[in-house]
């Protein structure tokens, strides 16, 4: 397994949210983002049960993984991660750039087993922390994770406001990583805006899910938004 660099040596990565792209011309949008130097492709997999929305799916993820040499960052907002986790992990295993499969641990009776099944199927496992949850509740799972995703809005829809206490969740995830000598990346998803990015990075986030409030800012051309995003993360 490829291990992440120590926190102090990491670049902050940009993971555009594919659900925020122009779905009627998705190839054009993603081609442009890849040319502009994004790092991961963030894919929100929603089942209309765990969250009230229904987005993206296996065929799209498989095609993206075959076309682009970027890691797929697959966030499963689903009721049955034991069914879907290994399936998407298999897609990650076949993707040119590999991929992460992140579950909400409260959705399964045996999250440690689910994370192990994701790794065994070829994905890099992670857990997502809902705004109503405390990362300390899942501290026993952190050693099994390559990624901890902090939701800074309620899961389900783009365009929401930041829930400010979630920055403390990022800090807690960074503290636990240091205290335990672990090497997972910390991702934040939700209102990753020009105004909020500095505080998110300061709290310890090293992957930013970029959506409608930054990289897909409707007031900017895509290359302008990407340049502004690189500047915000110090690149």
Catalytic residues: 44, 189
Residue 77 CA, chain-centre distance (Å), reads: 11
* CB neighbourhood size of 210 (10 A): 27
Residue pair 15/207 in contact (Cβ under 8 Å)? The answer is yes
Q: Which run of H or E residues covers position 76? A: strand 72-77
Closest of 24, 30, 27 to residue 210, by C-alpha: 30
Query: Cα separation of 184 and 145, whole Å?
Result: 6
The three-point CA angle 83-84-88 to 5° equals: 140
Tokens representing 39 are 């790092």
Burial of 65 (0-12, 13-18, 19+ CB in 10 A): buried
Using the structure block, give the residue that is written with the tokens 């792209």. 21
SS3 146: coil
Query: Cα separation of 160 and 146, whole Å?
Result: 27
């Amino acid at each position: 397994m490829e291990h992440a660099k120590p926190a102090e040596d990491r670049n902050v990565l940009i993971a555009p949210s594919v659900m925020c792209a122009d779905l009627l011309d998705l190839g054009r949008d993603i081609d442009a983002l890849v040319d502009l130097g994004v790092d991961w492709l963030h894919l929100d997999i929603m089942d209309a049960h765990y969250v009230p929305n229904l987005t993206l799916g296996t065929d799209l993820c498989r095609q993206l993984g075959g076309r682009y040499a970027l890691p797929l960052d697959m966030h499963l907002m689903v009721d049955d991660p034991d069914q879907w986790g290994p399936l998407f992990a298999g897609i990650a295993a076949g993707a040119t750039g590999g991929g992460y499969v992140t579950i909400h641990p409260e959705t399964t009776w045996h999250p440690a087993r689910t994370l192990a099944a994701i790794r065994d199927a070829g994905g890099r496992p992670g857990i997502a922390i809902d705004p109503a949850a405390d990362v300390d509740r899942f501290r026993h799972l952190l050693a099994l994770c390559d990624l901890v995703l902090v939701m800074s809005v309620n899961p389900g829809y783009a365009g929401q406001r930041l829930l400010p206490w979630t920055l403390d969740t990022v800090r807690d995830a960074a503290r636990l990583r240091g205290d335990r000598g672990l090497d997972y990346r910390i991702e934040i998803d939700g209102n990753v805006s020009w105004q909020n990015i500095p505080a998110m990075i300061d709290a310890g986030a090293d992957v930013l899910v970029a959506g409608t409030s930054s990289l897909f800012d409707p007031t900017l051309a895509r290359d302008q938004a990407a340049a502004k995003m690189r500047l915000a993360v110090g690149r």
